[in-house]
Amino acid sequence: MTDQREAILSRLVTICGAVAGINAADRNRLDVSQMLRPAVIVLDGTERTVTPPLTNARGASVSDKQRMELLPQIIIALRGDSGGEAGTLLTLYRNKVLAAILTDATLLASVTPNGGIRYEGCVVPAPDAEAREYRIDLNLVFTYIFSLGDL
Amino acid sequence: MNARQIIDRLDIALALYGQTVTLQRTAIDASTGAITVTQEVTCPAKFRTFFPQDLQAGDVQDITVILSPTSLGGFGLPSRDDRIMIDDNPSNVEQIGPLYFNGQLVRVNLLCRG
């Protein structure tokens, strides 16, 4: 069996890298090599319990399974210039990346019938005054079953 | 001392102690975000790199660059839309500090990040 968390995260990088127009995708880095743009950076983010393992009347665990949420941070970075407005491009790649993630059969299979993928919104941080770098952070929640037997 | 002498001194210093860099003027495709290089110039420069003094691992660094107006030629004064390639690594030009003597450009300081 595969660790579900790792399966989801590594698949995310593959999906994002395959989106048309994206020039680089990397994981757990502050920037991609050669500052290629547009680029996607996937940060592993937070994993937390949603439903703890079942317990008996004495509180002892009777199952090795629990429902988890994974909240990776997906950053789309692109370069703008003084000739145009970057917001349109941010929206374009937000749509492309979201569509690719939310419809990917492998990823949907990774979250099993008891889980799911939920889009929770996005944030565009204020750019540095001097920079031509723009980014949008996508917030997705992956719910899946964590099983001790998968480790 | 006049502007020409200041430029000549800078040119000699850059030739002796500098390294070759490439300035690139870029254009962004408004429909895809793809970056294309529309103009570039290769010139000697003196640069110094500053690594951020924090505990978070990262690849981003600040670089100060000194250029001579002699080698910029038709490229002209760099702008914030430009990039600089140092040892084939691209960095963004974030601040441009042109220095003038008696109204003539004698030196260009850049603050780059990449």
Task: Check if the beta carbon of residue A138 is closer than 8 Å to that of residue A76.
Answer: yes
User: Chain A partners of B91 at a C-beta cutoff of 8 Å?
Assistant: 35
How far, in Å, CA of A59 to CA of A52, rounded?
11
Domain range annotation of chain B: 3-113
Q: Can you give the pLDDT at residue B11?
A: 97
Q: Can you give the pLDDT at residue A1?
A: 62
How far, in Å, CA of B56 to CA of A124, rounded?
22
Residue A89, in any domain of the structure: yes
Q: Which residue has the tokens 């949008």?
A: A136
Q: Can you give the pLDDT at residue B59?
A: 63
Q: How many CB atoms lie within 10 A of CB A24?
A: 18
User: Chain A partners of B60 at a C-beta cutoff of 8 Å?
Assistant: 30-31
Amino acid at B2: N
User: Chain B partners of A135 at a C-beta cutoff of 8 Å?
Assistant: none
Q: Can you give the pLDDT at residue A117?
A: 96
How many CB contacts within 8 angstroms connect chain A with chain B?
Answer: 64
How far, in Å, CA of A25 to CA of A75, rounded?
10
User: Chain B partners of A133 at a C-beta cutoff of 8 Å?
Assistant: 92
Q: pTM value?
A: 0.87
Mapped onto helix, strand or coil, the DSSP state of residue A149 is helix
Task: Check if the beta carbon of residue A44 is closer than 8 Å to that of residue A14.
Answer: no
Q: Can you give the pLDDT at residue A38?
A: 95
pLDDT tens digits, residue range B39-92?
Answer: 999 999 999 987 666 555 556 788 999 999 999 989 999 999 899 999 989 999
Domain count, chain A: 1
Q: Can you give the pLDDT at residue B19?
A: 95
Residue A58, in any domain of the structure: no
Chain A residue with Cα closest to B90: A34
Indicate which CATH number applies to the domain containing A76.
Answer: 3.30.70.1700
User: pLDDT in tens for each of the 151 residues of chain A?
Assistant: 678 999 999 999 999 999 999 999 999 998 888 889 999 999 999 999 998 888 888 888 778 889 999 999 999 999 988 877 789 999 999 999 999 999 999 999 989 788 999 999 999 998 877 788 899 999 999 999 998 888 8
Radius of gyration of the CA atoms of chain B, in A? 15
Q: What is the mean pLDDT of chain B?
A: 90
The residues of B whose Cβ lies within 8 A of any Cβ of A are: 26-28, 30-35, 56-60, 79-81, 89-92, 94-95, 111, 113-114
| Cβ distance of B92 and A131 shorter than 8 Å | yes
Q: Which domain holds residue A91?
A: 4-53+64-150
Which CATH code is given to the segment(s) B3-113? 2.40.10
The residues of A whose Cβ lies within 8 A of any Cβ of B are: 21, 23, 29-31, 34-35, 37-38, 78-84, 88-89, 92-93, 128, 130-133
CA-closest candidate to residue A27, choices A73, A69, A70, A71: A73
Residue B17: which H helix or E strand, with range? Answer: helix B3-17
Task: Check if the beta carbon of residue A9 is closer than 8 Å to that of residue A44.
Answer: yes
